[in-house]
């Protein structure tokens, strides 16, 4: 199976390393980062591209743009793994449209296009007889979307809630463990690479809210936007508040919650018993799904990271390969 | 509630069974045999917790068992919810915040723990509200949310309902 990869940051490189390390029968015929690109129908030397990137160089030839790769490379699946733009979803949205229009399957980790334009993209994919897969957009390595679409098909979901943001979970874990202030815990998270220089997107609950919108719109048949999510971040939390929770054998976690029937979409810090399965440590994610036939299920796993996110992308790629792509 | 039943073996068990059948929780059973117990009836007082709306079913079941309910005591505040508030709690009149819940008449603040780290730094408080019914609890929390928005306080609610 031939793939073209847009975005050669942490996720793109994770995919490249997995392809090199494992016999997945995947050939990369197109590759682009923000500054350069490569198109080679015979198969790109992925190891060399990784090495160039490791030296701080561009992955390919300047002048070859992502749009060139999308329109000119020969591939079965476009792997779109550029950073999320929550306002317009561009340029990823345009690239995905273009690829679907060319009757190419698309696999993405980019939340923007899925949160903002899923119905349109899905219709476009269907009209062209191809698939659009996005497991990596929600909770990294946890195969939540696959579980809900396939494993829990036929169930009605009455409630879905959990820890959707590893950065916030790390900060809250550290505040509870060592009575750090919010600022201290954030500084530590930055040092370890768990938080961006501008942490707004994570700590204000925006990242978690987008994930709720994706689950609501693509699986729970709701029609929501980011503005529909009632959202409170963790920036005002005090070590005192965590201690007050601790007195009751509880702690505080940033919880994203969807109650489809009541139309509730909410991200907010909540008091939660320390023994509750959603109380996970560090940067882990955890999600509980309440389903009518299956009962209650809780998924716990790594919500971010190069290899972990690549796992979700590769799962989607092989799903498509097994069902749609002829030959190897 | 105060019950009257026949003074026969097995009657007390017969009276208690329906309580668990409707999901109730028995807190105390006071069983006094009066000196003038020549009477054929026995008085028993039971203190219990019942899920909302189950009282009628329980009375029905008791009647079927031949047990007479002499008196039903006061409803107590059975629902409990603990929340945490963060912000300038004193400067925004904490007693008014509490009063807005208490004024409902059906919910009240029964516990408050306040931590004030430094002057001008936001303080944190744990607040326990009790109410007679779940609906009243929801109403109380809605009131608290409104107050928090107005006074720019952060309210941290429990994951699970009261």
Are B85 and B151 within one domain? yes
Q: What is the pLDDT of residue A272?
A: 97
Q: What is the pLDDT of residue A313?
A: 98
DSSP element (H, E) containing A18: helix A10-21
CATH code for the domain in which residue B36 is found? 3.30.70.260
Q: Which residue did the predictor score with more confidence, A249 or B105?
A: A249
**Which CATH fold topology does A152-302 show?**
Dihydrodipicolinate Reductase; domain 2 (3.30.360)
Q: Is residue B161 part of a domain?
A: no
Question: What's the pLDDT tens digit per position in B84-101?
Answer: 999 999 999 999 999 999
Question: What's the pLDDT tens digit per position in A273-284?
Answer: 999 999 999 999
Nearest 5°: CA angle at A136, between A135 and A139? 100
DSSP element (H, E) containing A186: helix A182-191
Report the distance separating Cα B81 and Cα B75, nearest Å.
Answer: 18
Contacts of B83 by beta carbon, 8 Å cutoff, 6+ apart: A271, B126, B127, B129, B141, B144, B155, B156, B157, B158
Contacts of B152 by beta carbon, 8 Å cutoff, 6+ apart: B87, B88, B92
Q: Across the interface, do A245 and B126 touch by the CB < 8 Å criterion?
A: yes
pLDDT of A82 higher than 90: yes
Q: A59 — contact with chain B (CB < 8 Å)?
A: no
A138 three-class SS: coil
> Known catalytic residue: A302?
no
Contacts of A68 by beta carbon, 8 Å cutoff, 6+ apart: A32, A37, A39
Number of domains in chain B: 2
Are B51 and B93 within one domain? no
Q: Across the interface, do B115 and A243 touch by the CB < 8 Å criterion?
A: yes
Give how far A218 is from chain B: nearest CA, Å: 25
pLDDT of B37 higher than 60: no
Candidates A238, A248, A250; nearest CB to B122: A238
Q: B114 — contact with chain A (CB < 8 Å)?
A: no
Q: Is residue B104 part of a domain?
A: yes
Size of interface A-B (CB pairs under 8 A): 59
Domain residue ranges in chain A: 2-140+307-323, 152-302
Q: Across the interface, do A268 and B156 touch by the CB < 8 Å criterion?
A: yes
Are B10 and B54 within one domain? yes
**Most confident listed range (A87-91, A293-297, B56-60):** A293-297
Are B100 and B62 within one domain? no
Candidates A211, A261, A274, A302; catalytic one: A211
Are B16 and B48 within one domain? yes
Do A269 and A237 touch, CB atoms closer than 8 A?
Answer: yes
Q: Across the interface, do B84 and A252 touch by the CB < 8 Å criterion?
A: yes
Q: Which domain holds residue B62?
A: 2-71
pLDDT band per the 50, 70, 90 thresholds, residue B106: confident
Contacts of A53 by beta carbon, 8 Å cutoff, 6+ apart: A8, A13, A33, A59
Q: Across the interface, do A240 and B82 touch by the CB < 8 Å criterion?
A: no
Candidates B83, B86, B159; nearest CB to A238: B86
- Cα-flanking dihedrals φ and ψ of residue A112, to 5°? -55, -60
Are B54 and B100 within one domain? no
Q: Which two tokens stand for residue B115?
A: 């931590």
Give chain B positions within 8 Å (CB) of A161.
Answer: 159
Q: Which two tokens stand for residue B116?
A: 């004030």
Give chain B positions within 8 Å (CB) of A255.
Answer: 159
Q: B118 — contact with chain A (CB < 8 Å)?
A: no
Give how far A50 is from chain B: nearest CA, Å: 44
Question: What's the pLDDT tens digit per position in A176-193?
Answer: 999 999 999 999 999 999
Are B12 and B63 within one domain? yes
Domain edge (last residue) among B25, B50, B71 = B71
Question: What's the pLDDT tens digit per position in A6-47?
Answer: 999 999 999 999 999 999 999 999 999 999 999 999 999 999
Q: Would you tell me which CATH number, out of the four given (3.40.47.10, 3.20.80.10, 3.40.1350.10, 3.40.50.720), belongs to the domain A2-140+307-323? A: 3.40.50.720
Are B38 and B62 within one domain? yes
Quick one: what percent of chain B has pLDDT higher than 90? Answer: 38
Are B64 and B87 within one domain? no
pLDDT of B59 higher than 70: yes
Q: Across the interface, do B87 and A245 touch by the CB < 8 Å criterion?
A: no
Q: B145 — contact with chain A (CB < 8 Å)?
A: no
Q: Out of A275-279, A306-310, A316-320, B39-43, which region has the weakest mean confidence (pLDDT)?
A: B39-43
| C-alpha dihedral (A296, A302, A304, A308), degrees to nearest 10 | -110
Do B110 and B161 touch, CB atoms closer than 8 A?
Answer: no
Q: What is the pLDDT of residue B34?
A: 61
Are B148 and B83 within one domain? yes
CATH code for the domain in which residue B130 is found? 3.30.70.2690
Q: A278 — contact with chain B (CB < 8 Å)?
A: yes
Q: What is the pLDDT of residue A237?
A: 96
Quick one: what percent of chain A has pLDDT higher than 90? Answer: 94
Quick one: what percent of chain B has pLDDT higher than 70? Answer: 91
Are B107 and B65 within one domain? no
Give chain A positions within 8 Å (CB) of B122.
Answer: 236, 238
Q: Across the interface, do A244 and B83 touch by the CB < 8 Å criterion?
A: no
Are B84 and B152 within one domain? yes
pLDDT of A122 higher than 80: yes
């Amino acid at each position: 199976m031939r793939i073209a990869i847009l975005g050669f940051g942490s996720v793109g490189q994770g995919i490249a390393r997995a392809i090199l390390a494992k016999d997945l029968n995947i050939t990369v015929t197109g590759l682009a980062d923000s500054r350069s690109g490569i198109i080679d129908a015979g198969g790109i030397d992925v190891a060399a591209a990784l090495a160039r990137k490791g030296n701080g160089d561009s992955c390919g030839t300047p002048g070859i743009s992502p749009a060139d790769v999308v329109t000119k490379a020969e591939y079965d699946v476009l792997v779109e793994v550029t950073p999320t733009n929550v306002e317009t979803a561009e340029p990823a949205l345009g690239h995905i449209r273009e690829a679907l229009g060319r009757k190419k399957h698309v696999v993405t980790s980019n939340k923007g296009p899925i949160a903002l334009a899923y119905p349109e993209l899905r219709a476009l994919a269907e009209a062209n007889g191809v698939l659009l897969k996005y497991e990596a957009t929600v909770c990294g390595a946890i195969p939540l979307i696959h579980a809900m679409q396939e494993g829990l098909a036929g169930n009605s979901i009455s409630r879905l809630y959990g820890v959707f943001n590893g950065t916030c979970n790390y900060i809250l874990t550290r505040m509870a463990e060592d009575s750090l202030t919010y600022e201290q815990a954030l500084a530590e998270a930055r040092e370890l690479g768990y938080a961006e220089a501008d942490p707004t997107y994570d700590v204000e609950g925006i990242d978690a809210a987008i994930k709720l919108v994706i689950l609501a719109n693509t699986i729970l048949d709701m029609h929501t936007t980011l503005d529909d999510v009632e959202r409170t971040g963790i920036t005002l939390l005090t070590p005192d508040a965590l201690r007050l929770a601790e007195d009751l054998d509880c702690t505080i976690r940033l919880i994203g919650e969807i109650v489809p029937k009541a139309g509730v979409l909410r991200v907010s810090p909540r008091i939660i018993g320390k023994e509750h399965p959603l109380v996970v440590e560090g940067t882990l994610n955890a999600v509980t799904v309440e389903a009518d036939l299956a009962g209650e299920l809780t998924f716990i796993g790594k919500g971010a990271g190069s290899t972990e996110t690549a796992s979700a992308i590769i799962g989607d790629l092989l799903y498509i390969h097994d069902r749609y792509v002829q030959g190897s | 509630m105060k019950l009257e039943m026949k003074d026969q073996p097995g009657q007390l068990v017969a009276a208690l069974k329906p309580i668990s059948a409707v999901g109730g929780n028995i807190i105390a059973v006071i069983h006094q045999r009066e000196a003038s117990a020549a009477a054929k009836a026995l008085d028993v007082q039971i203190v219990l917790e019942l899920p909302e709306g189950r009282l009628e079913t329980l009375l029905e079941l008791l009647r079927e068992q031949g047990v007479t309910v002499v008196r039903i005591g006061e409803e107590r505040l059975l629902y409990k919810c603990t929340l945490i508030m963060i912000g300038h709690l004193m400067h925004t009149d904490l007693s008014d915040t509490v009063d807005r819940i208490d004024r409902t008449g059906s919910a009240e603040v029964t516990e408050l723990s306040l931590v004030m780290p430094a002057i001008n730094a936001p303080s944190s408080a744990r607040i326990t509200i009790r109410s007679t019914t779940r609906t009243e609890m929801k109403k109380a929390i809605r009131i608290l949310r409104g107050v928090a928005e107005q006074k720019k306080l952060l309210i941290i609610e429990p994951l699970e309902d009261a």
